[in-house]
């Protein structure tokens, strides 16, 4: 297979998809087979079962993306794109690696149970994607010290698919795979991920935790990754402006009377969570981003001064490299 850069990116992805279909027997199914049905070592995920001996792939058909009549998972498509365009993840120094591992955390979650008469659900529009577009996929990030911009994935063919967009970030996050065997059950095995990109994930998480802390200070009673529930109009306006001050685009997904009970249990007007429960429970995993002002200034600069098109960042440049004090 040739990865000629002059070849359209969609053709390169399609070529990889067809080769995978030729080498693996693939079944699209509305429900993945139970582990008990598998009599071999399998790679497992939420959307796939892959038998290593039989070379059979079972794909959950509800999440598949069609490429000229051939379907594939968003994760596989994201990997195919990244391999074709970037080939490998960004390089980093030993000190940079150490700092990122110190700062790396999961998505922000904050829950303060309450009820309200006029609440609002504020959401960040295409958060993961907007960071990649403006800072580049192979961003050079040293928390509190340096933010260097790389080439953005502007030619990714499936920008309308949120799951596929987010997979451009998550495929670089993991250095392990989940396996299942009849004798051991489910376990993880470390692997070498040539598309590893912890810098991008750390940058996004730092932005989200920085925004989350400001949103809670402004009155938010619920935070889940890039969504915020404000219990009144005043808090909503403050959170709306906070999101904008980081250079992101806020949207209102729901408004009206409602409640917050616990993680994954809330109502804001007509916006319901899928599995509501009356049990109430508080939760807070917010990271105090010591350099959040430094980061907010640079993110706002990268977003406000530069439009979302290829002319903005076609070559690496620095947004700021002065050390935070």
pLDDT in tens, 77-94: 999 999 999 999 999 999
What's this model's pTM, rounded to 2 decimal places? 0.88
Could you tell me the two tokens for 118?
A: 């006029």
Containing 82, the helix (H) or strand (E) segment is helix 74-85
pLDDT in tens, 241-254: 999 999 999 999 99
Give me the helix-helix angle, 233-245 and 198-217, nearest 10°.
Answer: 150
Domains of the chain: 9-72 (no CATH), 105-152+198-320 (3.90.1600)
Reply yes or no on whether the pLDDT at 275 is more than 60.
Answer: yes
Q: Average pLDDT, stretch 269-298? A: 88
pLDDT in tens, 142-199: 999 999 989 999 999 999 999 999 999 999 988 889 999 999 999 999 999 999 999 9
101-104 long-range contacts, Cβ below 8 Å, gap at least 24?
101/198, 103/143, 103/202, 103/206, 103/287, 104/198, 104/201, 104/202, 104/205
pLDDT at position 4: 58
CA 13 – CA 36 distance, rounded (Å): 33
């Amino acid at each position: 297979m040739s990865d000629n850069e002059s070849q359209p990116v969609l053709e390169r992805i399609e070529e990889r998809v067809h080769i995978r279909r030729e080498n693996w027997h693939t079944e699209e199914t509305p429900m993945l087979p139970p582990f008990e049905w598998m009599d071999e070592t399998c790679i497992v995920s939420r959307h796939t079962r892959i038998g290593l001996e039989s070379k059979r792939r079972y794909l959950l058909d509800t999440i598949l993306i069609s490429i000229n009549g051939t379907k594939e998972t968003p994760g596989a498509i994201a990997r195919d794109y990244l391999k074709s365009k970037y080939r490998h993840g960004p390089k980093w120094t030993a000190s940079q690696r150490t700092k990122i591992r110190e700062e790396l955390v999961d998505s922000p979650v904050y829950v303060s149970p309450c009820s309200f008469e006029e609440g609002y659900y504020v959401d960040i529009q295409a958060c993961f994607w907007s960071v990649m577009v403006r800072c580049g996929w192979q961003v050079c990030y040293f928390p509190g010290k340096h933010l260097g911009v790389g080439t953005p994935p502007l030619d990714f063919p499936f920008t309308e698919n949120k799951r596929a967009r987010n997979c451009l970030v998550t495929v670089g996050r993991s250095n392990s795979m989940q396996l299942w065997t009849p004798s051991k059950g489910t376990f993880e095995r470390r692997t070498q991920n040539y598309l590893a990109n912890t810098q991008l994930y750390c940058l996004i998480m730092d932005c989200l935790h920085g925004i989350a802390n400001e949103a809670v200070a402004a009155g938010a009673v619920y935070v889940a990754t890039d969504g915020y529930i404000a219990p009144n109009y005043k808090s909503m306006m403050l959170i709306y402006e906070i999101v904008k001050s980081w250079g992101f685009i806020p949207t209102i997904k729901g408004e009206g009377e409602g409640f917050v009970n616990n993680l994954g249990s809330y109502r804001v007007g007509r916006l319901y969570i899928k599995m509501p429960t009356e049990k109430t429970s508080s939760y807070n995993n917010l990271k105090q981003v010591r350099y959040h002002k430094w980061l907010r200034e640079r993110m706002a600069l990268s977003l406000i001064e530069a439009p979302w098109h290829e002319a903005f960042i076609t070559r690496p440049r620095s947004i700021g490299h002065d050390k935070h004090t």
